[in-house]
Amino acid sequence: MKTRKRTQFILLLITLGLLVSMIISFTPSFGALFGNQNNVQDDPAALLVNGQKITESQVAIARRNPPFQSNFEGEVGKDLDTLLVDNLIQTELIRQASAKEKVSSAEVKQAVNDWRDSNGVGGRNNDGEYINLISRFGYDDASFRNVFREQLRMDKYRNNLTDNVEVSDDEVKSFYDVNKNKYQTTERILAREIVLDDKDKADKILQELKDGADFAELASKNSIEKADRAGALGAAKDTTEPKAVGRAALPTAVADAAFALQGSGTTGLVEANDKFYIVKVEEYLPSGPQPLEEVREQVKNDALDAKKAGVFEQTMTSLRSTADIEIPASSTISYDNEAVAKVNDTEITRAELARAVYNNPQIAQALRPDTTQIITSLFKPSILESLVDRELAYQGAQKLDAKFFGSKDNIALSALGYVSKDATVNDDEIKEYYDSNIARYTIPAKAVVNRINFDSREAANSFREKMIAGEDLTASMEELAGTLVDLGTVNPGSLPSEIDKVLFGTDAFTALPDSNEEISDVLVLTEDVPLEDGLNEQITTDEEAAANDNADKSTDSATTDTSTSAATAADAATTDTTDADTSEPKTKEVDVVLIAERTPEVIRPLDEVKSQVKAAVLAQKQQDLQ
């Protein structure tokens, strides 16, 4: 059986939420869903599907699999019970539909042998290990082979449904027309670059370019990158003609400058990653749909997959609409699959909603008794709203002047893309959005900061003077007993308010010679003394005072009993310690100097970010249309 066909089938089943027990490399316990356990006839029916029973044992085995293995109460428990029964019904309908497919013993043998090989129990020498393995799940060799027989029948049933599905040239074009948003190119440029690691040289070359020098020639002679390609971006080795590239071909700041030109031209000098860039854009290629002929093969494959999904979905809908579902009075299960929403004449059922909620990987992973409330009150209503939107889009597609095909999901997404394909943006809308969302295009201020603490104002001032005079930081700090604290790179609001205000709200700094760093005025900061230090200091002071007081009184109390004096001193120490425990935290003043390389906040000009703003406005208008 071809791997591609099997993969496509699995994808179709995922779309419908029917993956349970439908994978050839399945967990053996799933086989019970196909009615192949021993003693099925003696097992009471939990439900009947077209008169064929699904037994209580089969239901119990199905409950061993996520997300059904935990016992949830309330709304989540009811949802999962409904979803479990619905999955069993769907699987049984597929089993019944595939019952007439012919599967030979040789095909079953090959499938079982493949499974044995993949699980390390292949070959006759491992027959014992194989039997031991499958017996853990309640199987003998015969019942295990029956599981594979059912699986192979369903594979063949799928082949009969979709093998003959084809798409015509007209259908390929129709699929492309309603899904153009899937085949968009990003904006690109044809350009050359000159990259240098010396700013003075970069400034000199930029001036030469302004004076009319040839860009490719200067790139070949001077650039530290792509000199062998005359600076051509996207060019293959030993070629010098640029190819279209996107933003990722350049550092962010450089790309912003190059794409901001929105046409041919040369950027100024742009610094990035300790290098200096000059880019000449020869042609700007705006984003837009790729021509059909360039993506025809991709479109054809996408259209074929969509059409096959639609065939399978329609078949399952037909099977379900004519199915006779019966739950015996003695059954331990219930199936309350009422409508939770109605869109015109179409109902969205509890099982459909439960499948969308609990098959969501993030929700399934987070599903615990303590998360059920947030799932039912937050996520479930949101997902129901998306199902309603999908149904509205699906129904609306029938009224559009376009041809849609595929599953309901395919058609809904295609319809949404189709109605928004003609959205346009003008310069006034771009300017309005930019002005209203200026924070999105603002690079926040930052600073690389070292803090040096001193024990006295005099030492801090002396250190500051030495640094302004160009003396060595480490030597000056050691001489004046300073303590350095590396605060790293910080943004506004990340440090205590006193330091934050000095760094980002004042100009109380002096530039240091031959450096991008500045030194602050001496700051006097008030800081809490750690509790342990405060207690030690308080206790020491009190003990000294007590000792002096006792010394003054000793000449007048020479006859006082020694033990009484000792007890009194102990009481005093205990009292003083207790007082220290309940006193306010102690504070002290610290003399501090900051050395920082500060970068102010930068609001990126509209010309530089125009393409990003345009994309944001276009996305918003498309969403409004949808």
Each residue's pLDDT tens digit, 65-106? 888 988 899 999 999 999 999 999 999 999 999 999 999 999
CA distance 266 to 254: 11
Map residue 345 onto helix, strand or coil: coil
Return the pLDDT at 510: 96
**Pick from 28-42, 288-302, 451-465: least confident:** 28-42
Residues in CB range of 286: below 8 A, 6 or more apart: 187
Confidence of residue 610 (pLDDT cuts 50, 70, 90): confident
| Residue located via tokens 């602050």 | 520
Map residue 559 onto helix, strand or coil: coil
In this model, does residue 412 exceed pLDDT 50?
yes
Return the pLDDT at 40: 56
- Residue 34 is given by DSSP the state G
Q: Percent of the chain scored above 90 by pLDDT?
A: 67
Beta strands at 446-454 and 483-490: parallel, antiparallel or unpaired: antiparallel
| Residue located via tokens 């599905």 | 165
Each residue's pLDDT tens digit, 236-276? 988 999 999 999 999 999 998 999 888 899 999 999 999 99
Q: What average pLDDT score do residues 604-621 get?
A: 87
HSE (CB half, 13 Å, CA atoms) of 288?
7
Among the listed residues 79, 13, 65, the one whose alpha carbon sits nearest the alpha carbon of residue 380: 79
Among the listed residues 620, 601, 617, the one whose alpha carbon sits nearest the alpha carbon of residue 609: 617
**Pick from 34-43, 163-172, 439-448: least confident:** 34-43
Confidence of residue 331 (pLDDT cuts 50, 70, 90): very high
Among the listed residues 267, 256, 279, 278, the one whose alpha carbon sits nearest the alpha carbon of residue 202: 278
Return the pLDDT at 511: 95
Answer yes or no: are the C-beta atoms of 5 and 121 closer than 8 Å. no
**Burial class of 111 by CB neighbour count within 10 A (0 to 12, 13 to 18, 19+):** buried
In this model, does residue 337 exceed pLDDT 90?
yes
Each residue's pLDDT tens digit, 459-496? 999 999 999 999 999 999 999 999 999 999 999 999 99
How far is CA 447 from its chain centroid? 29
In this model, does residue 315 exceed pLDDT 80?
yes
Average per-residue pLDDT for the chain? 85
Among the listed residues 93, 84, 113, 122, the one whose alpha carbon sits nearest the alpha carbon of residue 24: 113
Give the containing element (helix H, strand E) for 283: strand 275-285
C-alpha separations of 105 from 5, 97, 142, 144, 153 in Å? 22, 20, 12, 13, 12
Return the pLDDT at 578: 47
Confidence of residue 369 (pLDDT cuts 50, 70, 90): very high
Each residue's pLDDT tens digit, 339-361? 999 999 999 999 999 999 999 99
Give the containing element (helix H, strand E) for 599: strand 587-599
How far is CA 462 from its chain centroid? 51
Answer yes or no: are the C-beta atoms of 553 and 572 closer than 8 Å. no
Q: What average pLDDT score do residues 291-316 get?
A: 94
Return the pLDDT at 609: 86
Each residue's pLDDT tens digit, 549-599? 544 444 444 444 444 444 444 444 444 444 445 556 688 889 999 999 999
Answer yes or no: are the C-beta atoms of 500 and 494 closer than 8 Å. yes
Q: Which phi and psi angles does 371 have, rounded to 5°?
A: -110, 0
Tokens representing 182 are: 């899937």
pTM of the model: 0.63
CB atoms under 10 Å from CB of 103, counted, come to: 18
Torsion (CA) 164, 167, 169, 174 in degrees, nearest 10: 160
CA distance 45 to 52: 9
Return the pLDDT at 583: 54
Each residue's pLDDT tens digit, 213-246? 999 999 999 999 999 999 999 999 889 999 999 9
CA distance 486 to 73: 54
Dihedral sign of CA atoms 306, 289, 183, 173 in order: positive
Return the pLDDT at 532: 54
Each residue's pLDDT tens digit, 519-541? 999 999 987 776 555 445 454 44
Each residue's pLDDT tens digit, 418-439? 888 888 899 999 999 999 999 9
Q: What average pLDDT score do residues 108-134 get?
A: 94
Return the pLDDT at 16: 35
In this model, does residue 306 exceed pLDDT 50?
yes
In this model, does residue 27 exceed pLDDT 80?
no
Return the pLDDT at 422: 81
**Burial class of 42 by CB neighbour count within 10 A (0 to 12, 13 to 18, 19+):** exposed
HSE (CB half, 13 Å, CA atoms) of 387?
23
